[in-house]
Chains A and B, each alone.
Chain A
Amino acid sequence: MSAVLSLSGVTTFYGAVQALRGVDLVVNQGEIVTLIGANGAGKSTLMMTICGSPRARDGKIMHHGDDISAMPTHEIMRRGIAQSPEGRRIFPRMTVYENLLMGAHGKPEASLGTELDQVFTLFPRLKERLTQRGGTLSGGEQQMLAIGRALMSKPKLLLLDEPSLGLAPLVVKLIFNAIRELNRTTGLTVLLVEQNAFQALRLAHRGYVLVNGSITMAGTGADLLARPEIRAAYLEGGGH
């Protein structure tokens, strides 16, 4: 297995506040890796640091053997990395179709047939809503749109920031199933940031636990799920 993405000793600051304290993390080809942690642990910061905004002050971020920690954000995103950002951030006044096109890096509409088909097979709901304004979709549909939009650039590595945020359990299940399906059929590598530790660890091959900007635990999904300290900290009352 070769590493698609590897972080070593990454630290990030917001002004004087240190958000990440030397994070080491590896994502291998074809894996689903999840990063779990409480509110404010630095999960989204880690995600954004990979994308170069904010920039890592120390440490190295390697993508397929190249150091991307100093690259401009748009160049990082054009290396086959796509992100579905925290809070979905779809374009509310643009239609579903326009939102999807925005994910395709300005490629001409006519050449996007296969990408669109892939998104519609994964989320048939989006096809029904194609001419609808993004802001009028339900939360779950907006999440589908955010993931679909990210897939339009045919990424090799998909970064998902809290896709379950504010969604009903059934919808979360649907979205997680879609991620699993995508990984299984196309071999897409996924880095998933989640607060919903139970679902995320069940989905992922491997997991990391982030506390106060440092990785405190790492292991396979099943391994982490079985650990008592994880159960106590993240799953109390959250398990099904």
Chain B
Amino acid sequence: MLRDAALSALVAFGLFGPMIGLKTEVGVAAIELIYRPIAVLIAVAAVFFGRLALLAWKSTRPVAKAAPGRIAGGMAYVGRYLTPIVLVLTITMPFYAERYWIDLGILVLTYVMLGWGLNIVVGLAGLLDLGYVAFYAVGAYSYALIAQNFGLGFWTCLPLAGILAAFWGVLLGFPVLRLRGDYLAIVTLAFGEIIRVVILNWASLTGGPNGMSGIPRPTLFGLVFNSGGGEGSFADFFGLEPSISHRVIFLFYVILGLALLTNWVSLRLRRLPLGRAWEALREDEIACRALGIDVTVTKLTAFAIGAAFAGFAGAFFATRQAFISPESFTFIESAIVLAIVVLGGLGSQLGVALAAIVMIGGGEMFRDFQEYRMLIFGGALVVVMVVRPRGFLSGRTPSVSLGTKRKIGADLMTEGHG
């Protein structure tokens, strides 16, 4: 035990020695190096005794593992009651929450939708896609370009943005058909960057780094939302006091509707032969071939449908912001969406929603902590992955059942596996 603790302290010394022990400070003539041996000592001592305490605590605990069945059962129980509660809280949100919270809700819902969309590709079909943001960007720029060049409204452009994104999904799908796992991930990552770089450099079309502004806002059956009210506006039609919060609430319900559509479609697809083929593909591609499943079509549809939802979300993003630039579509966005899917539990719809609330909402909460934000964020990710390596809610409900549905507990799922 002592040896273990001493070893930890040694590692800590190696790490903290240069990191804490040396500090640069702007001196009179040049940057001066200040040595802080006491601080290093404190840090190393903290690690030593911390490790000792942890080991002591572990040795007093019985070795027996907590009954996994109980945890899984508890999770299923929570899931059954949590879904309607979350849904009701979300739908009624504009009635009790302030403007700031509704804005945050719109942001979270956008990520919930992206998470559910990516869940089709990663969670169901098992195709690790690190370039998902590319389709989000395609959707956003499709809407912006069509709206500005052809004067079409949001509701006309929304399906077009989805179709265009799906088209790019298929285009990405073709070259990566033969790839799996790590190789697939690298190519999708590159694809995501290609789209961003093209947008950045094709300045004559996309405005390059300046982005595109003045993207039209959505309307409700022709009624516009503006702060001034006036003829043909939402406020005028219903005889309300003109207010900008009408538009925010409207946007909130639009993204809620889109997200629920994504959820409904993926739940529906899972029960159809196509969805089952995706899951089978994730499990064993060779078996799928042996059973006469057209692997090419199955993979391409997964890419296309996943991409279409990202396209919808992208169009919504563009109309909400009224301004888009390549900065919004960097790799970190793909990473966040993927983290949401993995944290929530691959294939779990409620888990993804909760993870989006924690990741995006939590990220906003910690805005006050400034530089510690990423530290807390990273630490939280590590803790979740240690405590629940398969995500918050990672059970799998069979897509077909005879009589009672038996949830397959999280403990039976594969860990860290696409």
**Chain A interface residues (CB < 8 Å from chain B):** 51, 53, 72-74, 76-78, 82-85, 89-95, 97-98, 101-103, 105-109, 130-131, 133, 135-136, 149-150, 153
User: In chain B between 256 and 299, which residues have their CB closer than 8 angstroms to a CB of chain A?
Assistant: 273-274, 276-277, 279-280, 283-284, 286-295
CB distance from B390 to the nearest CB of A (A): 12
Instruction: Point out the residues of chain A lying under 8 angstroms from B404, CB to CB.
Output: 131
CB distance from A90 to the nearest CB of B (A): 7
CB < 8 Å neighbour of B292 from A84, A85, A105, A108 = A105
CB < 8 Å neighbour of B402 from A72, A89, A97, A108 = A97
Contact between chains at B292 and A78 (CB < 8 Å): yes
- When C-beta atoms are compared, the residue in chain A nearest to B405 turns out to be A131
CB distance from A148 to the nearest CB of B (A): 12
Interface string of B389-400 (1 = CB under 8 A from A): 000000010111
- When C-beta atoms are compared, the residue in chain A nearest to B283 turns out to be A91
Contact between chains at A133 and B287 (CB < 8 Å): no
Contact between chains at A73 and B289 (CB < 8 Å): yes
Known interface pairs A102-B280, A153-B292. Does A97 touch B398 (Cβ–Cβ under 8 Å)? yes
Contact between chains at A93 and B294 (CB < 8 Å): no
CB distance from B403 to the nearest CB of A (A): 8
- When C-beta atoms are compared, the residue in chain B nearest to A88 turns out to be B287
Is B24 interfacial (CB 8 A cutoff)?
no
- How far apart are the CA atoms of A148 and B26 in the complex, in Å? 76
Instruction: Point out the residues of chain A lying under 8 angstroms from B290, CB to CB.
Output: 51, 77, 83-85, 89
Instruction: Point out the residues of chain A lying under 8 angstroms from B358, CB to CB.
Output: none
Instruction: Point out the residues of chain A lying under 8 angstroms from B274, CB to CB.
Output: 106
Known interface pairs A85-B287, A102-B280. Does A74 touch B396 (Cβ–Cβ under 8 Å)? no
Contact between chains at A74 and B295 (CB < 8 Å): yes
**Top-6 shortest CB links A-B:** A77-B292, A106-B273, A89-B287, A91-B283, A74-B294, A83-B290
Is B408 interfacial (CB 8 A cutoff)?
yes
Contact between chains at B291 and A102 (CB < 8 Å): yes
User: In chain B between 361 and 418, which residues have their CB closer than 8 angstroms to a CB of chain A?
Assistant: 396, 398-402, 404, 406, 408, 412-414
Contact between chains at B292 and A131 (CB < 8 Å): no
- How far apart are the CA atoms of A93 and B418 in the complex, in Å? 13
Contact between chains at B287 and A74 (CB < 8 Å): no
**Chain B interface residues (CB < 8 Å from chain A):** 273-274, 276-277, 279-280, 283-284, 286-295, 396, 398-402, 404, 406, 408, 412-414
Known interface pairs A77-B291, A106-B274, A149-B291. Does A94 touch B398 (Cβ–Cβ under 8 Å)? yes
Instruction: Point out the residues of chain A lying under 8 angstroms from B414, CB to CB.
Output: 93
Contact between chains at B284 and A91 (CB < 8 Å): yes
CB < 8 Å neighbour of B400 from A51, A82, A101 = A101
Most chain A CB inside 10 Å of its own CB: which residue of B274, B293, B401, B414:
B293
Contact between chains at A97 and B289 (CB < 8 Å): no
Contact between chains at A91 and B280 (CB < 8 Å): yes
Contact between chains at A89 and B284 (CB < 8 Å): yes
Known interface pairs A102-B276, A106-B273. Does A51 touch B396 (Cβ–Cβ under 8 Å)? no
Contact between chains at B287 and A90 (CB < 8 Å): yes
Known interface pairs A131-B401, A133-B408, A133-B412. Does A94 touch B280 (Cβ–Cβ under 8 Å)? yes
Instruction: Point out the residues of chain B lying under 8 angstroms from A130, CB to CB.
Output: 402
Most chain B CB inside 10 Å of its own CB: which residue of A73, A84, A92, A130:
A73
Contact between chains at B398 and A102 (CB < 8 Å): no
- When C-beta atoms are compared, the residue in chain A nearest to B293 turns out to be A74
Listed A/B pairs (24) with beta-carbon separation below 8 Å? A53-B289, A72-B294, A74-B292, A77-B292, A78-B292, A82-B291, A84-B290, A91-B279, A93-B396, A94-B283, A98-B276, A98-B279, A98-B398, A98-B400, A102-B277, A102-B293, A105-B293, A106-B293, A109-B400, A131-B398, A131-B402, A136-B412, A149-B291, A153-B292
